Amino acid sequence: MLPNLKCFSLKSYFRFQQYEQIPSLLRRMPYLENLTLYLFASGDLFHNLSPERIQQTLINIGQHNTATIVNYLSRCTAECSIFSLPFTFGYLRYLGNIFPNIVFNYVTYLLVEDHDAFGHEFFVRIARSFPLLKHLHILNIQPQLSSNLTLSSDHSQSYSIIEYPHLTSLDVICSLTDYLEQFLDETKASVPCLTELEVSYRYLKTVTNNFTREETRRNCAKVKKLIAIEQFDNSQDFYHYFPSFEMYSRFD
């Protein structure tokens, strides 16, 4: 027992291997008043557990101000984040389509991943739940259900424009063109501070229609650094489209 312990902090931004020991550890702290907790774990264990079941385990040992997110990435793999509330950390990984209605006021870096497509409404929720978001990394190879394959602005007008006032870095290098389109098309999103873009150069040319498309020009205007898979072609149209461009790096 740890009867005199009133404050306890445990943070792990990498995969935590001893999840099953946490409940027994917290039971040894009967007079704990202040818990700061962030754990990330993955594997078969969490595929058989619901967020409600994990949450109930924490409540049973007296920890009511906590939340759990389980992201089922496949039939046998799940990613699980367990954290205390309010969430005071600046970093959150492997968020999927299903997450609680919490405002993460301190998060500036977010990685989202799911085996199901991310729709426009998902990104509306992201903007609301992460008001100070600066760095967004998207992992998704599923096409959006309402994907605008012809890149026509007529279809996009039905969307609400999502505001990301602090977003400076966007990584869609492991995602389809849909998600690049989601952020560069000004009829879908506003990213006035975007200065760094990690992307497939081929996808970038497609979404911007070889650097001539007006709907994506504004959100590219302040990009200074481009990290891409394919070789940069150094065209004049590119420089006109990215007037703030300073640096190119090839992703290997």
Quick one: average pLDDT of 66-87?
84
CATH number of domain containing 189: 3.80.10
162 and 182 both lie in a single domain: yes
Domain finish residue from 33, 64, 85: 85
Tell me the whole-structure pTM to 2 decimals.
0.84
3-state secondary structure of 1: coil
49 and 149 both lie in a single domain: no
- Note whether 203 and 171 are within 8 A (CB): no
Most confident of 6-15, 37-46, 178-187: 178-187
Of 15-19, 102-106, 186-190, the one with minimum mean pLDDT is: 15-19
Of 4-8, 120-124, 187-191, the one with minimum mean pLDDT is: 4-8
110 and 71 both lie in a single domain: no
Please identify which residue in the block is written with the tokens 């911007």. Answer: 208
Tell me, what's the pLDDT at 15? 63
pLDDT digits (tens, 9 = 90+) for 83-142: 889 999 999 988 999 999 999 999 999 999 999 999 999 999 999 999 999 999 999 999
171 and 104 both lie in a single domain: yes
172 and 240 both lie in a single domain: yes
10 and 21 both lie in a single domain: yes
Q: How much is the mean pLDDT over the chain? A: 86
Cα angle 127-194-200, degrees, rounded to a multiple of 5: 100
% of the chain exceeding 90 in pLDDT: 54
Most confident of 16-30, 39-53, 237-251: 237-251
Tell me, what's the pLDDT at 119? 95
- Note whether 229 and 251 are within 8 A (CB): yes
143 and 246 both lie in a single domain: yes
At residue 149, does pLDDT exceed 60?
A: no
At residue 46, does pLDDT exceed 80?
A: no
104 and 222 both lie in a single domain: yes
- The sign one gets for the Cα dihedral 89, 95, 100, 101 is positive
128 and 7 both lie in a single domain: no
pLDDT digits (tens, 9 = 90+) for 198-215: 999 999 999 999 999 999
Domain finish residue from 41, 66, 85: 85
Domain finish residue from 57, 85, 113: 85
152 and 182 both lie in a single domain: yes
Tell me, what's the pLDDT at 143? 95
d(Cα 86, Cα 65) in Å, to the nearest integer? 8
Biggest CA-to-CA distance, the chain: 70
Tell me, what's the pLDDT at 146? 61
Cα 94 from chain centre: 7
- Note whether 105 and 70 are within 8 A (CB): no
209 and 119 both lie in a single domain: yes
153 and 236 both lie in a single domain: yes
The residue range of the domain holding 112 is 87-252
Q: How many domains does the chain have?
A: 2
What's the one-letter identity of residue 188?
A: K
Of 22-36, 60-74, 135-149, 219-233, the one with minimum mean pLDDT is: 22-36
